[in-house]
Amino acid sequence: MSEADFYNTIVQPAVAEYKDRGSKFIGYAFPVENVETFKERLNEIKKEHPKASHHCFAYRVGLGKNIFRVSDAGEPSGTAGKPILGQIDSKQLTNTLIIVVRYFGGTMLGVPGLINAYKMTASLALQLTSIVQMPVEKFFNLQFDYTRMNDVMMILRQYNCRIIKQETQLFSMMEIGIPKNRETEVLYKLNDLQNVEIKSAIFE
């Protein structure tokens, strides 16, 4: 079975609220591409809600979907992080983080009540953002004479390639992402140009 050419993710953050017996749950959905970004978002939310009783979360990142983490943040085991991750997985998302902040309202919700509350809050947050299909990319470094810039740009635009980094001097350098399903065509066309050097690369 070949790897998929596309993956599902979110590109816009979203916020949703859910209330149950006095407790207020605020769900934040964020696009994240790595664990460092997750840590930054979690710190931001903790600063924004310092008096909240819990900051629970789940995320899944990477195209293999094998990098994930869940946290109940002091809630009974399995009542927060897993239901949140369940919503991410139900939509087959990756590079997605959901943090649910809880303000305790004085009434215990019990295990089923907590599972439902965290699941509902995560689900509402995902309903308020767009789920998009993104191409799986292969990454390359390009080096070329600046006189080739127009030819290179034309090919990159034609095949919806992404320019990650660019340095333009007498000799130009680019880090690019090529949609996996167009890799052969793009490399063929770039190789056809004179004075263009292509090297495979790995970026986070």
CATH of domain 6-133: 3.30.230.30
What are the structure tokens assigned to 51, written together? 């008096």
- Chain-centroid distance, C-alpha 31: 4
Closest CA to 35 of 60, 72, 6: 60
pLDDT digits (tens, 9 = 90+) for 89-140: 999 999 999 999 999 999 999 999 999 999 999 999 999 999 999 999 999 9
- The pLDDT value recorded for residue 131 is 96
- Tracing tokens 């903790």 back to the chain, one arrives at 46
- The span from the CA of 31 to the CA of 50, in Å, is 23
What are the structure tokens assigned to 93, written together? 């998302």
For domain 136-201, which architecture applies? 2-Layer Sandwich (3.30)
Which residues have C-beta within 8 Å of that of residue 14, sequence separation ≥ 6? 28, 29, 125, 126, 128, 129
pLDDT digits (tens, 9 = 90+) for 11-47: 999 999 999 999 999 999 999 989 999 999 999 999 9
Structure confidence at residue 3 as a pLDDT band (50, 70, 90): low
- The pLDDT value recorded for residue 1 is 30
Average pLDDT over residues 52-79: 95
- The pLDDT value recorded for residue 108 is 94
Instruction: Say whether pTM exceeds 0.75.
Output: yes
Report domain extents, the chain.
6-133, 136-201
Q: Do 6-133 and 136-201 show the same overall fold?
A: no
Structure confidence at residue 204 as a pLDDT band (50, 70, 90): very low
